[in-house]
Structures are given as C-alpha cells and as structure tokens.
C-alpha cells in the first residue's frame, strides 16, 4: 500500500474528486454512502471528505453555528437525530464557498464520531482534536496537525 504523506499535500489545499467508497454508520444503520465525493488535501492534514447531499439518508437540521475557513469560506453546521439521540455541529457544509471550492457547494463533511466512518471498508480514526475534520486511514503517513500540536499516525 502506498502511503500518502500529508507533509507533501499542498498549501493552499487541493480539492479533488475521489472514487473512494465512503460510508458513515450510526447505531448500526447507514446514514451516508457514496463513491462520488470530493476530498480536500492540505499540508499536515489527513483528507477531509465532502459527500454529495443525495448520499445522506437521514434528515439534517441547520444549527446556528458557523465557522470560517480562509480557503473555503463560511461553514454551516447541522444536527442529526437518529434512534432518539440528537447530535449537533458534527456535520458541516459550505453553501457559498470561495470560487476555488465551488464544486463542494452544499456537500457535507462529517467529523469522525460519534458515528463510524469508513473509507474503502477501513474504519477511520479522527484527526486529533475537535477543530479539524480529517479522516486518518492506514495509508496516511507523515506528521498530522492535531489538538496538542502534531502527531505521527505511524507511531
């Protein structure tokens, strides 16, 4: 398996289509499933995946939270209710992204948790900390930016 070294990812970040199979499960049920997503590759970050709205199988409700990315613009956050539990602000989108990121307009990204996220059948680990939304898989190498500075996922 070829390792993707996050230290060689570009800055500013690169937006690309990916044919990887992305699956999000919560409480044993599929809540998102696609092979038609985008990923954002940025120096020292594992990929952040953006799934098409049609791949989401449960209703989402917009929350008041927003944040700003210098590359993508203002993010909108959502809550999800499933199995009697509501989780807020763990899913986001860019509904009016900057011109470089218009292909992901309305696409949704998930933090890895509380649900289980998979890339090509492999359960991902979340990028450390709660600020970044990257998904770490076994093909990710290099020093990853995180909660307490950087970490090496190989260690």
Q: Each residue of 31-42: pLDDT tens digit? A: 999 999 999 999
> How many whole angstroms separate alpha carbon 122 and alpha carbon 47?
14
Q: Would the pTM of this model clear 0.85, i.e. be above it?
A: yes
Residue with tokens 């990315």: 69
Percent of the chain at pLDDT exceeding 70: 94
Give the CATH number, domain containing residue 25: 2.170.150.40
Please report which helix (H) or strand (E) contains residue 17, including its range.
strand 14-18
Q: What is the pLDDT of residues 107-153, one digit of tens each?
A: 999 999 999 999 999 999 999 887 889 999 999 998 888 755 554 55
Q: How many residues does the chain have?
A: 155
Q: How many domains would you assign to the chain?
A: 1
Domain coverage including residue 86: 4-151
Q: Which residues, 6 or more positions from 145, have their beta carbon under 8 angstroms from its beta carbon?
A: 44, 45, 127, 132
């Amino acid at each position: 398996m070829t390792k993707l070294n996050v230290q060689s990812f570009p800055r500013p970040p690169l937006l690309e289509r990916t044919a990887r199979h992305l699956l999000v499960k919560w409480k044993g049920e599929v809540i998102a499933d696609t092979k038609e997503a985008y990923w954002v590759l940025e120096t020292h970050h594992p990929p952040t995946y953006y799934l098409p709205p049609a791949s989401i199988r449960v209703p989402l409700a917009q929350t008041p939270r927003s944040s700003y990315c210098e590359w993508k613009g203002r993010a909108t956050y959502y809550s999800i209710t499933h199995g009697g539990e509501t989780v807020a602000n763990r899913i986001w989108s860019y509904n009016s992204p900057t011109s470089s990121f218009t292909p992901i307009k309305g696409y949704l990204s998930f933090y890895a948790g509380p649900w289980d996220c998979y890339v090509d059948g492999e359960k991902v680990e979340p990028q450390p900390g709660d600020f970044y939304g990257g998904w770490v898989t076994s093909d990710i190498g290099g020093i990853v930016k995180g909660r307490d500075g950087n970490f090496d996922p190989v260690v």
